[in-house]
């Protein structure tokens, strides 16, 4: 089969831990042809196309790929198109999603489903499952944010378009900086943000639970914050420790998995702190390599097997 991966610039990917690289290596090892492009390579002219190049992947993490020259190719000519561009989910990302939806109408098979990605904000997506979330507020009203902080005394504020721990603040009721933090997060009432009650169990890790076609990978990656840091994200300096899913992890995964898979979300990353669901990641979920390296469970191979089944089950 012939797969197209839409990626961030190749030179920016850290092959020793990057999930997209793990996916591409697994695809190549199973005999598939791997192609790549960047978001800027997508365009519509007589159909949706990409300037895409063939990749040859090596096991060496320092010199991990050989890229062939890019050529114009219709997205419908690939057996699968995998959108693996990291957020922010800005206008350019949204434009790419619109183009991918049009490519689907032309016969392309895109994973995750672009309409589902468009409709699932990774922060607000938890609101669909209120039985699993801590007290949460989404608003642009600074007064409402202050009232939430006063009510819960300790809160986390997040931008709705952030990733990797970017622009996340822990704010206590007595924080002398709370006014400026709330002003910054809401742009004084011009931008919406999310507030969540602080969950002390973050000390035991912010767990990433992976769903592949609605089924949970048997190990989560508990991301532990470095000393003096609230954020446990790996991009913010946290470290990851793989661990078996807890009973609560499985309960959450069991409830969300079939719903999300039915919408065309082949790969989802649930963030769970203690007993609470905090995010539903659908753009480019990560943590394959950390789980594989620590447990031996072949996450990338499991994903490719599910992808192949989806393609064969929806053969042209």
In order of their start, the domains of the chain are 2-113 (3.40.50.20), 135-198 (3.30.1490.20), 201-306 (3.30.470.20)
The set of residues, in sequence order, having a beta carbon less than 8 Å from that of 103 and lying 6+ positions away, is 47, 48, 75, 76, 81, 110
**304-313, long-range: CB within 8 Å, 24+ apart, which pairs?**
304/23, 304/26, 304/27, 304/30, 304/32, 306/212, 306/213, 306/266, 307/80, 307/82, 307/111, 307/266, 308/1, 308/30, 309/213, 310/80, 310/109, 310/111, 310/213, 310/266, 311/1, 311/79, 311/80, 311/109
For residues 97 and 102, give the distance between their C-alpha atoms in angstroms, rounded to a whole number.
9
pLDDT digits (tens, 9 = 90+) for 268-283: 999 999 999 999 999 9
Concerning whether 208 is annotated as a catalytic residue, the answer is yes
Instruction: Please say if 223 is a catalytic residue.
Output: yes
Which residue in the list 112, 113, 121, 281 is annotated as catalytic?
281
Query: Does residue 103 carry a pLDDT above 80?
Result: yes
The structure tokens 């390579």 sit at: 41
How high is the pLDDT of residue 232?
A: 56
**Would you call 279 a catalytic residue per the annotation?**
yes
Catalytic member of 25, 158, 178, 289:
158
Element (H, E) at 145: helix 142-152
113 catalytic, yes or no?
Answer: no
In Å, how far from its chain's centre is CA 168? 17
User: The pTM is what?
Assistant: 0.93
Query: What average pLDDT does the chain have?
Result: 94
- pLDDT digits 0-9 by tens, 183-215: 999 999 999 999 999 999 999 999 999 999 999
Q: Which of 85, 178, 223, 289 is catalytic?
A: 223
User: Catalytic annotation on 271?
Assistant: yes
Predicted pLDDT of residue 231 = 58
Decide if pLDDT at 216 tops 80.
yes
Give me the catalytic one of 25, 84, 207, 208. 208
Considering Cα of 261, then 289, then 122, then 219, what sign does the dihedral take? positive
Indicate if 231 belongs to the active site: yes
119 is catalytic: no
Catalytic pick among 25, 84, 85, 123: 123
């Amino acid at each position: 089969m012939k797969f197209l991966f839409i990626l961030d610039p190749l030179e920016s990917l850290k092959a020793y831990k990057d999930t997209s690289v793990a996916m591409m290596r697994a695809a190549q090892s199973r005999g598939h042809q791997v192609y790549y492009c960047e978001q800027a390579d997508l365009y519509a002219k007589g159909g949706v196309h990409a300037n895409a190049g063939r990749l040859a992947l090596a096991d060496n993490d320092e010199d991990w790929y050989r890229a062939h020259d890019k050529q114009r190719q219709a997205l419908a000519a690939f057996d699968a198109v995998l959108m693996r561009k990291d957020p922010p989910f800005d206008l350019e990302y949204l434009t790419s999603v619109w183009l991918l939806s049009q490519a689907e109408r032309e016969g392309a098979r895109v994973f995750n489903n672009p309409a589902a990605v468009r409709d699932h904000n990774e922060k607000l997506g938890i609101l669909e499952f209120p039985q699993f979330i801590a007290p949460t507020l989404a608003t642009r009203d600074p007064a409402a944010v202050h009232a939430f902080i006063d009510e819960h005394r300790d809160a986390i504020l997040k931008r709705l378009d952030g990733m990797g721990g970017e622009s996340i603040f822990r704010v206590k009721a007595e924080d002398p900086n709370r006014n400026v933090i709330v002003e910054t997060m809401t742009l004084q009432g011009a931008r919406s943000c999310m507030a969540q009650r602080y969950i002390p169990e973050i000390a035991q890790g912010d767990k990433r639970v992976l769903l592949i076609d609605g089924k949970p990978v048997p190990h989560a990656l508990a991301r532990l914050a470095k000393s003096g840091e609230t954020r446990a994200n790996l991009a913010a300096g946290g470290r990851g420790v793989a661990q078996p899913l807890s009973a609560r992890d499985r309960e959450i995964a069991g409830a969300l998995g079939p719903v999300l898979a039915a919408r065309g979300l082949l790969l989802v990353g649930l963030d769970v702190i203690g007993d609470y669901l905090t995010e539903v990641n659908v753009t480019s979920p990560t943590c394959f390599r950390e789980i594989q390296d620590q447990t031996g469970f072949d996450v990338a191979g499991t994903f490719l097997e599910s992808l192949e089944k989806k393609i064969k089950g929806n053969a042209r």
